Structure 1
Amino acid sequence: MATQFQHRLVGTLVLVSLGVIFLPDVFDGEKAHYQENYEAIPLREDFDTELLTAPVEAPEDVEAFMPQEPVTVTINESTDSPQPQPESEPAAVAQVEASAPKAGYQDSAWIIRLGTFRNIENAKNLVSTLRGKGYPAQLMPRDVKQGELARVEVGPNVSKDKLEAMTADLESLTGLKGQLLRFNPLNP
């Protein structure tokens, strides 16, 4: 015969298992059921069959943006009076090539090259030291890999005199005598 303890144990197990099964549903609240709205993908889209038989038009001819010939620029000679000049006075005529670079912009910026390094970590440390002191330093080329040569440069700056003044400070800071060179943005 079963003892009173066994009856209590079985009753407790039944109550605990019923609580484990049903209590989460009671405390979870009202369930929200979501139904996804979907449409079936058609096997073939309907399209206008007239597009298949319509003739294709030829593209329009458009003039080139840049002139193919040299451009003629007329410059009137300046006078001290603000009066308009009569057309009988001679005007200076200049021929300008459309592709010719402007003369004042070829050598307009300067850099100081402090050195070329094979050890990239040394070059990066030097650049971070210089930037910490307020100098516009960079590593060239920017995507240099281990084993390749990396240049440490300060600049560019349009003032050659300002960079020349920096060379003594840079030499005392780094111990490297830098070269003052022209900056070429197309081939750094």
Structure 2
Amino acid sequence: MATQFQNRLVGTLILVSLGIIFIPDVFDGKKAHYQENFEAIPLHEEFDESVLNAPVELPEETESFMPQDPVMVTVDTDNADVAQPQAVDDTQPQEGYQDSAWIIRLGTFRNLENAKNLVATLRSKGYRAQLLPRGVKEGELARVEVGPDVSKDKLASMTADLESLTGLKGQLLRFNPLNP
């Protein structure tokens, strides 16, 4: 038989537990649920298939900004009134530009880490070393070069220093800016 105290205790526990469960919902008020509107990404983009069958038009011909004929230049010599026309041909490279810069190629490496370490060593000693080609990946051939410099004699004198520093006998080559 349950005593009156036990009945009140059980009743109080039930009321407290119901209050713990339901009172927060009463005080929170109306719940607002936020759902973002989104659009599903299509698996393939719809496009106009008539574009595939349309003919390709040739580009328009335009005039070149480079002169086709040699440029005539008049030079006033000795402040005389007689002008002598001279033809200047812009298509031929001017003399002296073929031998304008030089590099020292120290070696070609398949191990990219060794090439990077050599470049770091040379740069720490004050040499302008570089790894070519620029976007080389592991397993591809990478060249280590010092330069370019316009003084061939200066680079030639560096080869002995570089050989003692790295143990590699470098080649003195012309620098080609179009195909470094």
Q: Same fold (TM over 0.5)?
A: yes
Match of 2:100 among 105, 108, 111: 108
Match of 1:68 in 2: 68
Match of 2:88 in 1: 96
Equivalence map 1:48-67=2 (5 Å): 63-67=63-67
> Kindly tell me: are residues 162 and 86 of structure 1, through their superposed partners in 2, closer, same or farther at Cα, counting changes over 3 Å?
closer
CA distance, structure 1, for counterparts of residue 29 and residue 151 of structure 2: 78
Equivalent position SS for 1:142: coil
Deviations 1:111-142 (A, max 9, x none): 11111112222112211222233322111122
Match of 1:136 among 103, 128, 136: 128
CA RMSD of aligned residues (A): 3.0
Match of 1:4 among 8, 13, 20: 8
Match of 1:39 in 2: none
Which runs of 5 or more residues in structure 1 are unaligned? 34-60, 80-84
Match of 2:159 in 1: 167
Equivalent position SS for 2:96: helix
Match of 2:139 in 1: 147
1:157 aligned onto 2:161: no
Which runs of 5 or more residues in structure 2 are unaligned? 35-60
* Matched residues, number: 151
Calculate the TM-score normalised by the size of structure 1: 0.66
Equivalent position SS for 2:64: coil
